[in-house]
A and B are shown apart, each in its own frame.
Chain A
Amino acid sequence: MDSLKRIIGEELSEIVQKARYGEKPMRVGLMASGSEHGDQELLEGALLARAKNKGVEVVMIGPKPADDHGFEWIETSKDEGEVAKAMEEALSSGTIDGAVALHYPFPLGVTTIGRVVTPAKGKAMFIASTTGTSSTSRLEAMVLNAIYGNAVAKAVGIENPKIGILNVEGAQVVYRKLSELVEHGYPLTFGESVRKDGGAILRGNDLLAGAVDVCVTDTLTGNVLIKLFSAFNTGGSYEALGWGYGPSVGKGWPYIVSIISRASGAPVICNAIEFTAEAARGKLGNVVERELKLAEQAGLSGVLDSMRQSTPTTKEEVTPPPAEPTEEEVHGIDVLSIEDAVKELWKNGIYAESAMGCTGPVVKVSAQKLAKATEVLKEKGYI
């Protein structure tokens, strides 16, 4: 009787593990048309994924062929807009846990983290990022890409991913800014270059060897890298290796949409489906929010702001004349050029301050200089 209880205990424990960490199949939608290799290629990819049986249910989205191979099918016409719409509906209704798409118009702030096979040692490496835009400023985007790359690697089960930064323009700035976050408690581990002098800045050898788990770069470079790593052995028209351009991440972004290209072959499509399922099982959205929160606590906003301010501008520096009381207001200057107007007055020896007046933005000057200031601003076309 007692041993029966023990066995039940072990079984129950296993049930708890399963319930906690999930072996419920993840449902991944796949766009069923739009490949340069024909619709059949996409179907092949889905069949490969099903054959491997890694807890994935593929749901095809698009025009249904005569033989549907027993897949669940969300049917649409061949029209790409319609396919995309059906995919979005399935995502938002929760019919599918994630999707693999040939293209997707991500909003600003959302990017994708790809994964490649590095050729020297056959090791997998994430590329952060490969499409979309995490920020309009390139360096700021790279800092965010590091956090997103970290999140994706953690979501698919790498506990303590090693992060490196590709030696593109601004890499050192990004390294410094990430180091600041680390100093203030953001859990990010830098990897080491395979070169003798080491460091977290990656060169060509490091890419080939897969020296780190996550390679941080700007999106355009990342996009080129994915293409190279997945198609260098086929001449480019057929992407045979890797996991594709990867799942989407962004602040407050609720969906997992993984991108493949029109040139992606069946093996890549299969990998992309599995990658998406892994990300969904790992609750990528929650991991991203958690990582962003941790980074925020370590001062992310301040770091990003400081990067914007340090961006060199071509605007000249003007030293203001000595401050004096500014009791008069000049109205009617466009709010976007109000700081330029202030500098223009400084250049003319008139002390001025910008402010928000009762009826919109104003430039404040002293009563004695009001007439002169108005004249200068008129002459320069500010009013």
Chain B
Amino acid sequence: MAKASIKGYSYCLNHVPNLAFHYGNTPFTERVLRGETEFLGNLKGKMQSFEEACAYAPNQAYIGGISLTDLEQQPSPMYENRLKSFDRFGKYGEIMPEDEFIGLMDICDVFDIIWLEQSFAAEIRGKLEKHPLLNESHLKRLESGHAEEEISKEVSEQEALPLYLGERLVGCCRRGHETDECLSSYVLLENIACKAGGVLSLLHLMKNAGLKPEEIDYVIECSEEAAGDANQRGGGNFAKAVAEIAGCSNASGCDVRSFCAGPVNAIIAGACQVACGARKNVVVLAGGAVPKLYMNSRDHVKKGMPALEDCLGGFAVLLGPSDGENPVIRLDALGKHSVGAGASPQAITSALVWEPLQKLGLDFNDVDKYAAELQIPEITLPAGAGDVPLANFKMIAALAVMKGRLEKSAMNEFVKAKGIPGFAHTQGHIPSGVPFIGHACDAIKANEMKRAMIIGKGSLFLARLTNLSDGASFVIEQDQKEEEKAALTREEIRETILDVLQELADDLKKEQ
């Protein structure tokens, strides 16, 4: 049986309300089309402080600061019932404040794209020196900064994008070419932020898994960004760029794209490399997407809520050969949404949930938890998109009823037992099943859970190339190596003994 074990995981958030306010697609487009409107004025009043973001229960659930059980018990709305005690660091990662993240973007900048203002650069060096995961080689990359006038000039004359903390100009993001749209300052900002988010997650992963940077063989990056220039718009390679900054000198890497289904496809790709013996330690990771910040802020502001979408998500997962201890990904029963499968929710759920279960000889109830898109409902509900995790669990329950495997009256119970609360930011690839891997592996290792299914789904029609949807899924479970061996061996031994005895008996009977 082909399988790969999950040897580590990290989950990080970068709290960047100012990047969101200026460069999230919704406010950015509003500003370009209409100027400083009332909506933007109101939005400013709804931005959350770093402490507020840290005290928001779903954020803590993401970085492993609280359990999902604790999250479920949190009174709603959770933005009005924030946690009393919280820490910037959780067991999976951290919530990094915006000033440090801008510093980290500069550390990740290899082409002098990010300029920091001198006094800010000095300030932030002091802070980053105290960060437990940043070492001398990282800090060496941090620039000493430019004079404020120099930055202002770059913004007004060279189309650089100003970087703010509140009203304070702390730096800018420069363009990479005068006419190439793929190297515009906006695209480069997006890409460097995504890279920095990936680097932070990788640093936490290596700490969590107790791995040295040199031990990593391969990195697969699976965000929704495109890095390239006019001649090769999405050429890549984020993965290798991230590995370089994190000091993974023995690693190579590549990018895997499939909209929100990217992470699941990337993990399958990585797990296959491991299972066939091609590579030993493979990391799958992604940083967040700047344009998706404040995506639904119009509705949030309208409803008088805080603008919750102010965090870039990031994650990293370490895959390695099955070791009998860590939970494994089953590669013999992957969910696959084929071209001909159909795009209706029912057809997708059937292909991604029911078909792999059948291959494994399992029933809907044999999976303890299902994780599809895990957006925070408080973000999506006010925007009219509903409770996304709930919609998926309902669909799975409905399919179980349709397949005659569940009584209709037991649907609600099924949804409650098998579902999980949403706790991920609305950044496409980030909520798509993968945030649950950490919680699931912990529960499996603690013997509280046997099996979980991670489901990634994507909407390919967003690219106007095809009307197709996309999706993939895999099952995580306890590594049953030894049990299996024992059960098989006993049966085989008995049969072999009987065979030998039978031969002996036959031989003896021939004697006259």
Contacts and interface: CB of A to CB of B under 8 A. Distances in A.
Nearest to A252: B363
A319 to B, nearest CB: 17
Interface string B243-268: 00000000000000001100000000
A88 interface: no
A362 B502 CA distance: 66
A358 B392 CA distance: 12
B504 interface: yes
A294 to B, nearest CB: 13
A301 B511 CA distance: 54
B384 A383 contact: yes
B501 A12 contact: yes
A20 B408 CA distance: 45
A16 interface: yes
A2 B391 contact: no
A136 B407 contact: yes
Interface stretch (B106-114, B146-154, B339-347): B339-347
B155 interface: no
A335 B394 contact: yes
Given A252-B363, A360-B386, A361-B391, A354 B345 contact: yes
Contact of A16 (B362, B398, B505, B507): B505
Given A301-B358, A308-B402, A356-B345, A12 B508 contact: yes
A338 B349 CA distance: 14
A12 B386 contact: no
A93 to B, nearest CB: 17
Nearest to A144: B404
A115 interface: no
B416 to A, nearest CB: 16
B195 to A, nearest CB: 22
A361 B343 CA distance: 10
B363 A339 contact: no
A331 interface: yes
A364 interface: yes
A189 B388 CA distance: 49
Nearest to B346: A339
B501 to A, nearest CB: 5
A362 to B, nearest CB: 8
Interface stretch (A3-11, A24-32, A35-43, A165-173): A3-11
A301 B356 CA distance: 13
B507 A9 contact: yes
Interface string A72-114: 0000000000000000000000000000000000011100000
Interface size class of B (residues with CB under 8 A): 35 or more
B391 A360 contact: yes
Given A9-B508, A335-B391, A339-B344, A358 B428 contact: yes
Interface string A118-145: 0000000000000000011100110000
A3 B510 CA distance: 10
Contacts of A261: none
A353 interface: yes
Contacts of B462: 358
A16 B495 CA distance: 10
Contact of B394 (A10, A304, A336): A336
A355 interface: yes
B305 interface: no
A140 B345 contact: no
A297 interface: no
B459 interface: yes
Contacts of A10: 505, 509
B83 interface: no
A66 interface: no
Contacts of B426: 359
Contacts of B345: 335, 338, 354-356, 361
Nearest to B494: A19
B511 A9 contact: yes
Nearest to A335: B391
A336 B395 contact: yes
Interface in B485-511: 498, 501-502, 504-511
Q: Which of B398, B428, B511 has the most CB of A within 10 A?
A: B511
The 4 closest A-B pairs by CB, nearest first: A9-B508, A9-B509, A13-B505, A12-B505
Interface of A: 2-3, 5-6, 8-10, 12-13, 15-16, 19-20, 107-109, 135-137, 140-141, 251-252, 301, 304, 308, 325-327, 331-332, 334-336, 338-339, 353-361, 364, 383
Given A9-B511, A331-B383, A334-B394, 16 more contacts: A9-B506, A9-B508, A9-B509, A10-B505, A12-B505, A13-B506, A16-B505, A19-B498, A251-B361, A326-B461, A335-B345, A335-B391, A353-B344, A356-B459, A359-B383, A361-B345
